[in-house]
Structure 1
Amino acid sequence: MFGLFGSGNLGNEGSLEAMVGFLRRERPEAELSCVCREPEVVKQTFGIETLPIRRNGPASGLSGKVNRLLLKIPGKLADFARAFSHVRKADVMIFPGTGILDDFGERPAGMPYDILKWCLAARLAGTRIAFVSIGAGPIRNRLSRLLMTSAARLAHYRSYRDLQSREFMESVGFDTRGDAIYPDLAFGLPAPIPFPRTLPDALRVGVGVMAYRGWYGFADGGQSIFSRYVGKLANFVVYLLDSGHDVRLLTGDDEDSVAVEALLAAVRNLRPDSKLSHGQVHSLGDVMGQMALTDIVVATRFHNIVCALKMCKPTISLSYARKNDVLMEEMGLGEYCQHVERFDVETLVAQFSRLTAARGKHEQGISERLAEFKEQIERQDACLLSSVIG
């Protein structure tokens, strides 16, 4: 298995957890390994063999100087040989879910290059390649787009987590005939039991926060984007508190603790005596457990949205990518979306009021769609067993 795992993004970890669970359940004799960002974390969490995506650190001494003199080509060749040596031992290399084919926060020399490197090594080694329920697009950098689509062409099996991902691939000239659409892998994870409400007159509102600084977080203006986002979200939280609702802050990545602290400070600056709940999370199961303590959710991260819907919670999305909007539309919640960089607080308040009034209808609609997702996930499982894993 290959992906950005172990680095604190719980959506990614949930995708890996779902795939590991499936493989252990259906092929308990299989030997599993994972090529990932933080091997020690993944090894400790899942108890499987791990390998870093690329060699740790640049070469030092004379070899390092020679490598730099030769434009780092020797180092890249050595890294490719290392990838080939590892992947040739496998029967299949799986990319389990995640937005693996977008360049959010990535430069071309990062994951776009690494994905192509490992796919090319697998092809040369005769190892089957499967992209399973992945997200694709946008890939705004042209070089990144070339690298990622070239990698995808090497795959023996491809499925996308939504229609917009497949349409994006088609829009860049990719042949998607034979590529299926199945739900995000996280929808296959077990869900905790919902908690009963204890305050009949007040709503428990989950507010998912994200350390969002623009599509390329390293670009200029990122801190200004973050500050505006937190400021507007603080005004909405104050509205919720003043309306008598209980507010619980939700996260989906270790980095989001920065956003939590910033939001708490902004809210307390407006309402010094405010009280907000926030629980520590270490997996998507924990995130769903936090969702179970809410009645309605307003969130930014894609897998916060997934977890809220998995728990059958009516949801509002402040999205940074089309993937959020597409999922919301699938769940009958398309009118409850705004873009994270342009959302208006008054509009958000109006959306919240409408969603509150229609909670029962939307809970029923989400429940019905989840049943359809379950059937689709089971169909893909059968397809993987028959045509990919064997």
Structure 2
Amino acid sequence: MRRVAFFGETGIGNHGNDASLAAGLALLDGTGVRPLAVAQLPAVVAAEHGVEAVEIRCPSGPRHGLSSLAGRVADVLHLGRTVRSVDAVVVPGTGIFEGQGQRPRGIPFSLFWLAAWARLHRRPLLLLSVGVDGQGSPGVRWFFARTLAWADVVTVRDDGSARALAALGVRRAAAVVPDLVLRRDPVTAPPARGTGETDPLVAVGVMDWGGTERDADRERCTGRAVVLVRALLGTGARVRVVTGEELDLRVAREVVRRVRAGDPGAAVELSEARTVEDVAHALGGCHALVAARYHNLVAAVGEGVPVVATGYGPKQASLVAHYAPPGQGAERSHDRDTFDPAAVVAQVRDILADHDAESAHVRAVADADRAAVRAQEDRVRQLLGIRAREPATP
């Protein structure tokens, strides 16, 4: 192995996707094998990760009118040249096989041709700890099914993804290996519980869908977040508002502004995180997290912070069920658009009432998941024949 490509929707400001790429790149640490990131915004990825990067699509391909068909052909050929230039291809985690909001001619099309070229050029294709949900149009599901069937190695990040894989008609074994971002060591110490229940710190993660969300929907979700923050403040907790993608900043700022407008002395603060690592640091001292974004939840459990999800898909429910005390996972997963703030606050109160035991449970599960992800790294290195370089002789 001299060169390995890492394919993903990276460089677009999604903290979880970029953290997954960083976790994938750890496969090559100390080996001398050169990585190539195949990204949506390669210049951003190259600057942030210090690796060579190329675009998923052909940079010079026409995109408009009748000539767009020629652009699609150029994209296919560009992927073929990229795959041929490396010795193996890795898709490092993320929910890249989740069909919600996907169009067949987007990432599903690119994944299909990535797998086809890997087969043609006999390059190993490894899909590691990917998320699958079985949703999307028939075209999306067909492209996903072919890619998953043709890959040399497939592992999925939770039991729900394993079931979705089977529902797509893919007949292959796929081990469950937790999300790659869980390989991170904690960056914060467990928080002190404080005195009584007067000073806990609760993080609230907000979310903005971006260009796919109508203003009315954004306003409704912003208003619900304000209600939730005020309710948590009413329990005597302090609140730290966090983000999970650059798009979320405008909503986060607006939530804090509205809360302070109603109460200038409100114990609410804003963390403008730019990476999952930033989110993990922002969770320092927090006793619980309520959030919609999946990798906000991942960052929290990696730090031993108990979570309640106000999510938008099965992946949040799977993660919460995995990390909650037995029998409580279903209760702590809510829908982003319909959650009852009073019910969420009641669950946060339960976490705070038994925080030491809750946090210890989360840390124990995270330790096991961290070990599983790192064991997968060892297996992948062995499969690809990648070894660490011997230390230079003085």
TM-score, normalised relative to structure 2: 0.89
Which residue number corresponds to residue 129 of structure 1? 125
Q: Give 1:238-257 correspondences, 5 Å limit.
A: 238-257=230-249
Deviation at 1:252, TM superposition (A): 1.1
Contact 1:166 1:176 in 2 (8 A): no
- Residue by residue over 1:287-338, the C-alpha shift from the partner in whole angstroms, topping out at 9 and shown as x without a partner, is 1101113111111100000111111011111111111111111112502121
Alignment partners' CA distance in 2, 1:323 and 1:84: 32
Alignment partners' CA distance in 2, 1:54 and 1:182: 29
Contact 1:9 1:252 in 2 (8 A): yes
Contact 2:128 2:155 in 1 (8 A): yes
Match of 2:212 among 212, 218, 221: 218
User: Does 293-302 or 358-367 show the bigger shift?
Assistant: 358-367
Give the counterpart letter for 2:47 in structure 1: Q
Contact 2:134 2:165 in 1 (8 A): no
- Residue by residue over 1:151-174, the C-alpha shift from the partner in whole angstroms, topping out at 9 and shown as x without a partner, is 222200000011110100101211
Does 2:22 match 1:17?
A: yes
Match of 2:95 among 83, 94, 99: 99
Give the counterpart letter for 1:297 in structure 2: L
Alignment partners' CA distance in 2, 1:211 and 1:4: 18
Which residue number corresponds to residue 236 of structure 1? 228
Deviation at 1:142, TM superposition (A): 1.7
Alignment partners' CA distance in 2, 1:289 and 1:80: 41
User: Does 304-313 or 132-141 show the bigger shift?
Assistant: 132-141
- Tell me, what secondary structure is at the counterpart of 1:72? helix
Alignment partners' CA distance in 2, 1:375 and 1:264: 38
Q: Over aligned residues, Cα RMSD in angstroms?
A: 2.1
Ranges in structure 2 where 5+ consecutive residues have no aligned partner = 1-5, 387-394
Which residue number corresponds to residue 391 of structure 2? none
Deviation at 1:23, TM superposition (A): 1.5
Alignment partners' CA distance in 1, 2:267 and 2:128: 42
Does 2:269 match 1:266?
A: no
Contact 1:211 1:256 in 2 (8 A): yes
Deviation at 1:196, TM superposition (A): 4.7
Match of 2:83 among 76, 80, 87: 87
Distance 1:52 1:142, change over 3 A: same
Alignment partners' CA distance in 2, 1:169 and 1:108: 18
- Tell me, what secondary structure is at the counterpart of 1:34? strand
Alignment partners' CA distance in 2, 1:212 and 1:326: 21
- Tell me, what secondary structure is at the counterpart of 1:248? strand
Which residue number corresponds to residue 362 of structure 1? 358
- Residue by residue over 1:205-244, the C-alpha shift from the partner in whole angstroms, topping out at 9 and shown as x without a partner, is 111111147xxx637xx43332222212211211222333
Give the counterpart letter for 1:233 in structure 2: A
- Identity over aligned pairs, percent: 25
Which residue number corresponds to residue 271 of structure 2? 279
Does 2:172 match 1:184?
A: no
- Tell me, what secondary structure is at the counterpart of 1:174? coil
Which residue number corresponds to residue 312 of structure 1? 304
- Residue by residue over 1:54-81, the C-alpha shift from the partner in whole angstroms, topping out at 9 and shown as x without a partner, is 0236539xxx7xxx44x63332222211
Which residue number corresponds to residue 202 of structure 1? 199
Alignment partners' CA distance in 2, 1:84 and 1:206: 45
Does 2:167 match 1:175?
A: no
Give the counterpart letter for 1:24 in structure 2: D
- Tell me, what secondary structure is at the counterpart of 1:94? strand
Distance 1:248 1:112, change over 3 A: same
Contact 2:231 2:341 in 1 (8 A): no
Deviation at 1:382, TM superposition (A): 2.2
Alignment partners' CA distance in 1, 2:263 and 2:99: 38
Alignment partners' CA distance in 1, 2:74 and 2:36: 21
- Tell me, what secondary structure is at the counterpart of 2:34? coil
Alignment partners' CA distance in 1, 2:364 and 2:191: 21
- Tell me, what secondary structure is at the counterpart of 2:310? strand
Alignment partners' CA distance in 2, 1:58 and 1:81: 10
- Tell me, what secondary structure is at the counterpart of 1:32? strand
Give the counterpart letter for 1:211 in structure 2: D
Which residue number corresponds to residue 116 of structure 1? 112
Alignment partners' CA distance in 2, 1:295 and 1:132: 31
Alignment partners' CA distance in 1, 2:86 and 2:182: 27
Deviation at 1:352, TM superposition (A): 1.7
- Tell me, what secondary structure is at the counterpart of 1:84? helix
Distance 1:109 1:251, change over 3 A: same
Which residue number corresponds to residue 321 of structure 2? 329
Question: Post-superposition, which runs of at least 4 consecutive aligned residues in structure 1 deviate over 6 A?
Answer: none
- Tell me, what secondary structure is at the counterpart of 2:376? helix
Alignment partners' CA distance in 2, 1:13 and 1:165: 21
Deviation at 1:136, TM superposition (A): 0.6
Alignment partners' CA distance in 1, 2:361 and 2:235: 27
Contact 2:109 2:143 in 1 (8 A): yes
